[in-house]
Structure 1
Amino acid sequence: MRIALLIALVVCAFAQAKCNVGELYTLHSPEAVRLVKDVSLRVSQLPDIFSSIFGFTIFNEKETWDSLLVSDLFGFPEAIVNIVIPGVKNADLSISEEDQHYLINDEPIDEIFYALEANIRKRYPTQETTIMQIVLSDEPVVKGTDLFKPINNINDESKIVTEHLNLLIEQDSKFLAEIYQLNALAKTIKTKVFANGVPDLYWITAPNLQNIINFYGSNSYEAGEAKKILSDALNRLSQSFSEAYKNKVLVTATTTNSNKINRSKRQANNEKLLNIASTPSSDYPVIFNLLLWFTVIFVFSLLAISLSIADMDPGRDSIIYRMTSNRMKKEN
């Protein structure tokens, strides 16, 4: 009975792990930094991995560096771009197998963004960093910067020719509108983004492929065409970022089979996770110097007093002799 129960628990755990597996695709990475081939990753690892790629100090260094290949410590990227494709286990993007990694979804995917945002703002509180978050829903939402304005009108030149998808169907029209936004963002990046030596972060959520797969099925012609269109759009976006940052950019896409896009913010004051000390106050140098030199003077003064007492002649004129003598001298 116990053996059967143990086997059932193992099978359930394995099934749950399989259900929580997504993909991480590396669309572009600088030559100096690459992810190790055939390594499985967890979502909870990605904040440390991305922080290391920026050159930040992290808490769990060994596990993180085991997942990275670094050939030039001065070649870290200046920007990280991640496109989240929720509700999809595999997006079948057109890239080589060595740039695909299994991703275990052990925590909400948006936690990566909030951890990286906190890391960047802690280290660059005054510099002008670009931290942009885009959700390509029915009404696209752009947070953090006015770099990109969602488009409302589609030009004839930008229209996408489809064989199986139909604009008259709601799921298809929403997905194609998402592709138009991605293409418009790619054009904007080429003209408005420039490398300035300060880390930048772009976080884009593209949720509409899930609707196509749920409506038509994962093996349908419509789903296959949608994946091909999305892959082409992401490759154009990756190329635009590469040109803008002169190849010093990491562009990734992550898929997760979770149907919910969690927007709960990671605790920015989790100092153990970020491995950052609290910022000292402006009075810290003054207080430190006062305590330091007072301690030094006090120690040397005490040492001098002790040495002078040790060398004192214990004669009758000594106050120590007078106070400790059994027969104290009295004056009449």
Structure 2
Amino acid sequence: MAHLIDISASPVSATMFLLLVVCCSQAMGDLLHITHAPGYMKFVQHPIKDLPASDIPKMISHSLGLPSGEMSWNGMLQGSLFKRPKANVIVTLVGHDDMDKTPLNPKSLAKYIVHNDVPFVDIEQVTHNFKRTLFGSTPLMVELLADNANIDVKSWHEIFKKLPSTRQKLNDRLLENNSVLNQFDIGTLNISHSADAALLEELQMIRNIMEKLKSNPGYLKSKTPDFYSFTISGLKDVAQHHGGESSQVASATKLLNEFIDKMTSEFRQLYKDGVMVEVLVTKPIHGVLVRKARSLMEADTQNTATVSQVSAWKKANIAASYGDEYPAIFNIILWGMIILAVALFIISHGIWNMDPGRDSVIYRMTSQRLKKE
């Protein structure tokens, strides 16, 4: 039996109830901000359900026109069949436990609550779709991941591999005139503090990538779509060292808002508004579950791992999983065999029951020889 709550008795109580629902919904789960999308990309402001985390890679693939699994979320419409964004940029920002008190609010077209049906968003699904669909080409893909010692940039293009990746080199880069320190107001953040410097170094690496794109516009003119994935985890470190309600966290949040707004504006200029930019704000996962970084060029390693995995499946008597193309290939082979079998039966039946009379080819070929003799 359903229980209904009557909120019509008082407009004040109704308002309080709605505010309570909104606040609870914002506190539950992560948030995905759509900071920019072309006009032909349509988004529903109030979808009927929250965005599953497992649907985010599918949403990115669908937006670029790449084949992917079916989405259960109805927040993004198909839009134009003849126009697709030239690039997609997703920024994954790892927050902290007190994120609700100092929320990240970049300028966005829409934002959606993310239902964490999986531990983390698997961006590797998008790179896998690129490899499978754009086989033989080298699309512009850049992935940024950070750890305690390095900030790793993974790409097929050499220009990004030459960027400084160690923390020390990036710290030295922050002291230059055109660094993040001189382009943004860092507030109470201090570069001499390791946690503050970690956040600034991650932002500086993104700025370095943007500068490379601006100085090499030829890379943006390829026929294949481009994909960028930036992971920023420095805000979590700032909150752990200074506290979630500290002035440093407030300054870091303000800095990130300004940084994301400027980054979105620059990507719009680079791609002439033909780019889609998302910011995924996640809370930290407490435990030992982490995402293992992997290079974009590990095809051979993946194949070796797949062979060993299949061997293990055979020993364990477990059926191997099938790809997305399996239903189409299965139907093509099945119906092709059925059509060929039916055609062979009809042809054989016709030849078997053919009357070798005067109108047949057999009679014409043999009758000429008989007349000559």
User: After TM superposition, is the score higher than 0.5?
Assistant: yes
Match status 1:185 vs 2:212: no
Q: Take 1:115 and 1:184, find their aligned partners in 2: how far apart are those partners?
A: 26
2:349 is aligned, of 280, 294, 302, to 302
1:104-115 equivalences under 5 Å are 104-111=115-122, 113-115=123-125
| Separation (CA, whole Å) in 2 of partners of 1:278 and 1:183 | 44
Picking from 128, 143, 146, the partner of 2:138 is: 128
- Given the superposition, is the C-alpha separation of residues 52 and 307 from structure 1 closer, same or farther in structure 2, using an over 3 Å criterion? same
User: Structure 2: which 5+ residue stretches go unaligned?
Assistant: 1-24, 295-301, 307-319, 357-373
Q: Distance in 1 between matches of 2:215 and 2:326?
A: 38
Question: Larger Rg: 1 or 2?
Answer: 1
TM-score between both structures, scaled by the size of structure 2: 0.65
Query: Corresponding residue for 2:264?
Result: 238
1:169 maps onto 2:193 in alignment: yes
Q: Is the 8 A contact 1:105 1:256 kept in 2?
A: no
1:260-309 Cα offsets, whole Å, 9 max, x none, are 5412889999655xx324998xxx99xx9999778635532323424659
2:6 aligned residue:
none
Please identify, of 170-179 and 297-306, the stretch whose mean Cα deviation from structure 2 is larger: 297-306
**Structure 1-normalised TM-score?**
0.72
Deviations 1:1-60 (A, max 9, x none): xxxxxxxxxxxxxxxx99871111112211111432134211111122112111234432
Amino acid of the structure 2 residue aligned with 1:301: S
> C-alpha distance in 2, partners of 1:200/1:278?
29
> d(CA) in 1 for partners of 2:322 and 2:84?
24
**SS of structure 2 residue aligned to 1:127:** coil
Number of positions where the alignment pairs a residue of Structure 1 with one of Structure 2 = 282
Distance in 2 separating the partners of 1:238 and 1:271 = 38
Deviation at 1:212, TM superposition (A): 1.0
In structure 1, what is the Cα distance between the partners aligned to 2:197 and 2:264?
Answer: 24
Deviation at 1:231, TM superposition (A): 2.0
Find the counterpart in structure 2 of residue 32 from structure 1.
40
Match of 2:63 among 53, 61, 73: 53
Identify which of 65, 84, 90 aligns with 2:92: 84
Distance 1:289 1:100 in 2: 47
8 A Cα contact 2:142 2:228, kept in partner: yes
Q: Partner amino acid for 1:32?
A: Y
CA contact (8 A) 2:186 2:252 kept: no
Write the distance in 1 (CA, Å) between the matches of 2:52 and 2:110. Answer: 16
Q: Whole-Å Cα distance in 2 between the matches of residues 67 and 271 of structure 1?
A: 28
Task: Please state how far the C-alpha of 1:205 moved relative to its aligned partner.
Answer: 1.0
Tell me the alpha carbon deviations over residues 228-255 of structure 1, each in whole angstroms, 9 at most, x when there is no partner.
Answer: 1122222222222222222111111112
Q: CA deviation at 1:215?
A: 2.2
Residue aligning to 2:16:
none
Q: Secondary structure at the match of 2:178?
A: helix
Amino acid in the other structure paired with 2:92: V
Alpha-carbon distance in structure 2 between the residues aligned to 1:85 and 1:225: 16
Q: One-letter code of the match for 1:107?
A: V
Whether the 8 Å contact between 1:129 and 1:200 is mirrored in structure 2 is: yes
Between the two structures, name the one with larger relative contact order (CA 8 Å, sep ≥ 6): 1
Contact 2:143/2:228 (<8 A) preserved: yes
Match for 1:26: what amino acid? Answer: I
Q: 1:140 aligns with which of 147, 151, 156?
A: 151
How high is the sequence identity, in percent, across the aligned residues?
18
- Aligned mates of 1:185, 1:212 — CA distance in 2: 23
Q: Which moved more, 1:170-179 or 1:288-297?
A: 288-297
For residues 51 and 232 of structure 1, do their structure 2 counterparts lie closer, same or farther at Cα, with a shift above 3 Å needed? same
Change (3 A) 1:270 1:114: farther
CA distance in 2, matches of 1:228, 1:18: 19
Say which SS state the counterpart of residue 35 (structure 1) adopts: coil
- In the other structure, the counterpart of 1:21 is 29
Q: Residues of 2 paired with 1:292 and 1:31: CA distance?
A: 46
Residues 53 and 77 of structure 1 are in contact (CA less than 8 Å); yes or no, is this contact kept in structure 2?
yes
Candidates 187, 203, 224, aligned match of 2:250: 224
Match of 2:178 in 1: 157
Distance (Å, rounded) in 2 between the aligned partners of 1:200 and 1:140: 21
Residue 114 of structure 2 aligns to a residue in which SS? strand
Q: CA RMSD in A?
A: 3.5
What is the match of residue 76 of structure 2? 68
Counterpart pick for 1:93 among 105, 129, 143 = 105
- 3-state SS of paired residue (2:221): coil
Identify unmatched segments of 5+ residues in structure 1.
Answer: 1-16, 310-332
Tell me how far apart the structure 2 counterparts of residues 240 and 302 of structure 1 sit (CA, whole Å).
71
